[in-house]
């Protein structure tokens, strides 16, 4: 299964090659850092093997920004330096193995991928209900 995607202005493009949509582990994050980065009350990403992701822009390279994710660990986000939208993120522990691709950046997000986890549930907005039948983690260092 091949997915293609881009930043908002389409200057930074990528492709993902997976055996099936189930290989993209969808997760929702309630940490304050994700809320700020996504501009909403949670971040929604698909965890994929790093080997399945590649940038296809010939002249455009992503801008990297590393910061504390709110739990003491460093998270790196890769974004377009023209429009500012970010494509993916990863922590130091996942850098060699996985990428967390923002759900809105593929041209056609896979409909068959269902939510598999909720993280930093302790910081979930009080008005937002818990997602049933998924893995819940109150804090990452849990």
93-118 pLDDT, tens digit each: 899 999 999 988 888 766 656 678 88
3-class secondary-structure state, position 76:
strand
Tell which wins on pLDDT, 15 or 69: 15
For the entire predicted model, the pTM comes to 0.88
Tens of pLDDT, residue by residue over 36-84, are 888 999 989 999 999 999 999 878 899 999 998 777 889 999 999 999 9
Q: Please state the φ and ψ torsions of residue 116, each to the nearest 5 degrees.
A: -115, -15
CATH hierarchy code of domain 2-137? 2.170.150.70
How far CA 14 is from CA of 52, 54, 80, in Å, comes to: 11, 6, 12
pLDDT band of residue 134 (cuts 50, 70, 90) is: confident
Higher pLDDT: 78 or 137? It is 78
Domain boundaries, given as residue ranges, for the chain:
2-137
């Amino acid at each position: 299964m091949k997915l293609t995607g881009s930043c908002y202005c389409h200057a930074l493009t990528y492709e993902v090659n997976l055996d099936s949509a189930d290989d993209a582990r969808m997760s929702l994050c309630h940490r304050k850092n994700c809320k700020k980065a996504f501009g909403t009350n949670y971040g929604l990403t698909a965890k994929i093997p790093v080997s399945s992701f590649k940038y296809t822009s010939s002249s455009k390279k992503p801008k990297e920004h590393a910061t504390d994710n709110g739990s003491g660990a460093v998270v790196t986000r890769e974004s377009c330096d023209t429009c500012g939208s970010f494509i993916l993120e990863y922590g130091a522990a996942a850098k060699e193995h996985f990428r967390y691709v923002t759900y809105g950046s593929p041209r056609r997000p896979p409909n068959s991928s269902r939510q598999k986890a909720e993280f930093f549930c302790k910081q979930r907005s009080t008005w937002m209900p818990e997602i049933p039948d998924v893995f819940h983690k109150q804090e990452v260092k849990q």
